[in-house]
Chains A and B, each alone.
Chain A
Amino acid sequence: MTTISKEHSDRLYWLGRYTERAFTTLRTIQKLYDKMLDKSKGYADYLKCFGLYDSYGSNEAFINSFLYDGSNANSVAYSLERAYDNGIVLREEISTHSLSFLQLAKDSLAKSELSKNTRLSLLPLEDQLYAFWGCLNEYIYNDEIRNIIYIGKTIERLDLYIRMAYPFDTTQKEYIRLMKNLERAPKGTPYRYNTANYSELVKIMENEDGYKQNSEKVIGCLEHLFEPLEVTV
């Protein structure tokens, strides 16, 4: 008994994107945290990657904002909240079980803010996000539904990796993943658009030189590959 509406497919896509954004941001911040042990303003390069202005002044202020500040649209807290917002209206597709891991992740993040050892307190959060992805695989029997979430997830990851100037071979692996996901989408669904952006993306990602010279373009192509509307309730 499956029939997927436009509204739900958009939600599925954004669930994938925001969960991935929370996850990759979390992992990046942990790396930065390590770097900051030896360096003041160890986050400067990170801000530059995203074209963000440094209004933080200290390592601590940066960490606090990018982990816990729900009003910072680049924080883990913000992404988790958006992921949950999308997840909560997809209960019957993704299962109560999967959804519970987003609730747990939100709770862990809130606990972490009160904790004395930030790195240690973030471990359960990372585990819960892994569990969330495991749960999706376990409980979603409809490949079409799972695939839409994965398309969102992979596009988000590619976008972040490219902005953070990840090496070509790492980025290319994610790109190949995306291509496989897109091929899995049934013909006639919005995720099978064979657009100009798609062709351009394929051309640029063919080799390392193309990637290095055109990363901005890749980001643009990804953004407009298809345009699921973000639903705000």
Chain B
Amino acid sequence: MTQQNIEQFTKAVGNANEINELLRRYGVKFGIYKNGVFNEQFFPFDPIPRVIASEDFKSIEKGLVQRVNALNEFLFDIYHEKNIVRDGIIPENFIYISKGYLAQCEGITPPNRIYSHISGIDLVQAKDGEWYILEDNLRIPSGASYPLIARELTRIAAPEAFSENEIVDNRNYAQLLKETMEYTNCGGIRAILTPGRYNAAYFEHSYLAEHTGSVLVQNDELFVEDNILYHRTYSGGKTRIGVLYRRIADEYLDPLNFLPESLIGIPNLMEVYRSGNVGIINAPGNGVADDKGIYYFVPKMIKYYLGEDPILKNAPTYLPFYEEDMKYVMDNLEKLVIKDVAEAGGYGVVFGRELTKEKLEEFRRTIIAEPRRFIAQEVIDFLDLPILDNGETVMRKADLRAFVLSGETTRVWASGLTRFSRNPDSFVVNSSQGGGFKDTWVLK
């Protein structure tokens, strides 16, 4: 698809109004807290798609499957023998001080040995066409429902775009997810656990429940009895749950095993899981693998577990933990991007070039004091994509979250969530920071 095609398409859509009108009608919202007040916003959608050529996608696909397979091997290893530490590939200390490492998961083998069933891998494409992995999200990556429903609605608002172009249908996501859930099912119904209506991704929870034919549940509807997880019915009965796609974080999952003050968890869930009586998607403890510090080691993991060369590149990354890297970071701080490994959602991402001299010095001291808390990366000058802004086309930074589903095989969803910054001077695309989204077209 050429730029001209894209412009033609844009004309066909006219402006973003029709589709945004439809998105509104179907309640495509996300929640956001500002100054402690909950607000539901419609997620701004831009009708000009990101287009990925078939060949390009094939290589991304291979790279992602390879990466996720290695990450799953890593998780199994970390919660069992820890060979990768013993063999000196990753310093021990990086594992145990990671907030995502959960001692409670030691020795647990999830159904079929799969830890990350749904992986959301963030990529950017540099100006020379090369793709870089920015981050792996292996806990509860969200966002697939947005391009999913957007595609459905764009096909209504701009049918010609689809009859005139050869675009891979992405509306199979719910089917892929359902198969993934079933593969992990330990006998019982499928359920999606949500913290409730006031969660930022509530739309997604309920939409995926509807389209996978799962029951959407909150913790107070569930209980554990004789080491089985049940849904309590309104007539006093119980229905066994075989697989739980939980959309709450590990530490809130089970107050008896993790944070005792959690009000959204299910007491004893971990025992049921440990006994192999329920599948949990994604497995608890995955945070150790998508830690921003561990990210540095993923290319090494691919070599170590699969004996292959990584197909997709990491952004050049430095760990101030290593002396040599610390020196580089200190000498180049103003041109690097620094990330706090404990943060997510675009918080804790700082571009050196945006800091004043004083702030830069202050930051320097913080890094020296807590070297393990930060990673530094070269700023990747990634592609701008065209965005419609009041009828005019403007260029904005955009990344791509690809979704990889691991069940009987590892599959990449032929689409993804393209997020863009609405601010012309910003690289940060997160929806919580005011970003919007686009559909992602993979060409046949």
Which residues from chain A sit less than 8 Å from chain B, CB to CB?
Answer: 1-9, 88-89, 91-92, 95-96, 99-100, 103-104, 107, 186, 188-190, 233
Contact = CB atoms under 8 A, between A and B. Distances in A.
A92 B189 contact: no
Contacts of B26: 96, 99-100, 103
Contacts of B235: 186, 188-190
Interface stretch (B126-134, B208-216, B322-330, B374-382): B208-216
Contacts of B25: 100, 103-104, 107
A88 B233 CA distance: 20
A5 B233 contact: yes
A107 B214 CA distance: 30
9 contacts: A5-B233, A7-B221, A88-B206, A89-B197, A91-B206, A107-B25, A188-B236, A233-B196, A233-B197
Contacts of A5: 217, 221, 231-234
Given A88-B27, A91-B216, A103-B24, A190 B206 contact: no
A91 B145 CA distance: 14
Contacts of A7: 218, 220-221
Q: Which secondary structure dominates chain A's binding surface?
A: helix
Nearest to B27: A103
A92 B27 contact: no
A190 B190 CA distance: 25
B207 interface: yes
A8 B209 CA distance: 14
Given A3-B215, A7-B221, A100 B234 contact: no
Given A91-B209, A92-B206, A92-B216, A9 B234 contact: yes
A92 B220 CA distance: 18
A6 B234 contact: yes
A46 to B, nearest CB: 33
Contacts of B198: 233
A108 B382 CA distance: 43
**Interface centre among B25, B217, B218, B220, by most A CB within 10 Å?**
B25
A7 B239 CA distance: 15
Nearest to B220: A7
Contact of B207 (A6, A91, A233): A91
A92 B209 contact: yes
B175 to A, nearest CB: 15
B216 A4 contact: no
Contact of A1 (B189, B206, B220): B189
Nearest to B21: A107
B210 A190 contact: no
Interface string B215-232: 111101100000000011
A100 B28 CA distance: 10
B157 to A, nearest CB: 15
Given A91-B216, A233-B197, A3 B27 contact: no
B210 A95 contact: yes
Q: Which secondary structure dominates chain B's binding surface?
A: mixed
A96 B24 contact: no
A100 B206 contact: no
A88 to B, nearest CB: 7
Contacts of A89: 197, 206, 216
A2 B149 CA distance: 24
**Interface centre among A1, A99, A188, by most B CB within 10 Å?**
A1
Interface string B161-190: 000000000000000000000000000011
A109 B286 CA distance: 47
Contacts of A4: 233-234
Contact of A96 (B27, B213, B236): B27
B213 to A, nearest CB: 5
A215 B235 CA distance: 31
Interface in B85-109: none
Contacts of B27: 88, 96, 99-100, 103
Contact of B234 (A91, A99, A107, A189): A189
Given A104-B25, A233-B197, A3 B210 contact: no
Nearest to B230: A3
Contacts of B236: 188
| Top 10 A-B pairs, shortest CB-CB distance | A3-B239, A91-B206, A92-B209, A92-B210, A9-B234, A5-B221, A6-B234, A189-B235, A188-B235, A3-B231
A3 B189 contact: yes
A5 B232 CA distance: 6
Nearest to A188: B235
Interface in B298-341: none
A96 B197 contact: no
Contacts of A103: 24-27
Contacts of B216: 89, 91-92
Contacts of A95: 210
A9 B198 CA distance: 20
**Interface centre among B24, B189, B207, B215, by most A CB within 10 Å?**
B215
Nearest to A88: B197
A194 to B, nearest CB: 15
A217 B26 CA distance: 42
Nearest to A94: B210
B206 A6 contact: no
B214 A92 contact: yes
Nearest to B206: A91
A88 B235 CA distance: 23
Interface string B16-31: 0000000011110000
A91 B205 CA distance: 10
A3 B221 CA distance: 11
A228 to B, nearest CB: 9
Nearest to A192: B235
Nearest to A2: B215
A150 to B, nearest CB: 16
A68 B149 CA distance: 31
A123 B41 CA distance: 28
A6 B232 contact: yes
A3 B207 CA distance: 18
Contacts of A100: 25-27
A190 B236 CA distance: 9
Nearest to A89: B197
